[in-house]
Amino acid sequence: MTEQIYKYFGNLTERQKEQIELLDKLYRDWNSKINVISRKDIDNLYEHHVLHSLAIAKETSFTPGTDVLDFGTGGGFPGIPLAILFPEVNFTLIDGTGKKVMVASEVAKALQLTNVTALHRRGEEEKGKYDFIVSRAVMPLPDLAKIVRKNISKTQRNSHPNGIFCLKGGDLTHELAPFGRQAMSTPITNYFKEEWFKGKFIAYVQM
């Protein structure tokens, strides 16, 4: 199952491979206690959750020292796979559901991801400043942008201007329209050839 990841990310260190391989056991263990991934979907963990999260890493490469907020992380997606891939980038994971944040926190701890902080917190309460917000379709993009605008740092240190990377499905025309040229979407099938990614996109909004 992890071969799917290695096919697209060939330069992983042994440490990163170990961490990715541990994800299956960790999420199965936690899922038996707290339902963070639907029971029938746990067998698709690497394709539907890990690889899906890593699509953002095909669209951009965060420079070391970048601060990223995973908004509505659930059990740790896309934040935890991205934190494995970018060990020198700081990830703050927030969610309004305490049980899910606990799972994300415990998984990060088990993987010894020192670049991850998981907090039980609603987006409206988050006061920190970040280069990027990442998210998996928690709400329509204009609503998300309203909440996180206050959290976008003015300091630029990446090839993409600071903003939002969101994993979305379906027709995004209406969601992206309010942003004009500050928004774009890329089909994930540009990067990953699996059938499941058809109709799924990485939406980027410059803030």
pLDDT digits (tens, 9 = 90+) for 63-103: 999 999 999 999 999 999 999 999 999 999 999 999 999 99
CATH number of 67's domain: 3.40.50.150
CA distance 24 to 39: 13
What number of other Cβ atoms are within 10 A of residue 149's Cβ? 11
CA distance 63 to 89: 7
> Which residues span the domain enclosing 112?
3-206
Percent residues over pLDDT 90 in the chain:
95
Domain total for the chain?
Answer: 1
pLDDT digits (tens, 9 = 90+) for 138-190: 899 999 999 999 999 999 999 999 999 999 999 999 999 999 999 999 999 99
Q: Does 40 have pLDDT greater than 90? A: no
Q: Does 39 have pLDDT greater than 90? A: no
Q: Does 43 have pLDDT greater than 90? A: yes
Q: Please report, as a single letter, which amino acid is at residue 186.
A: T
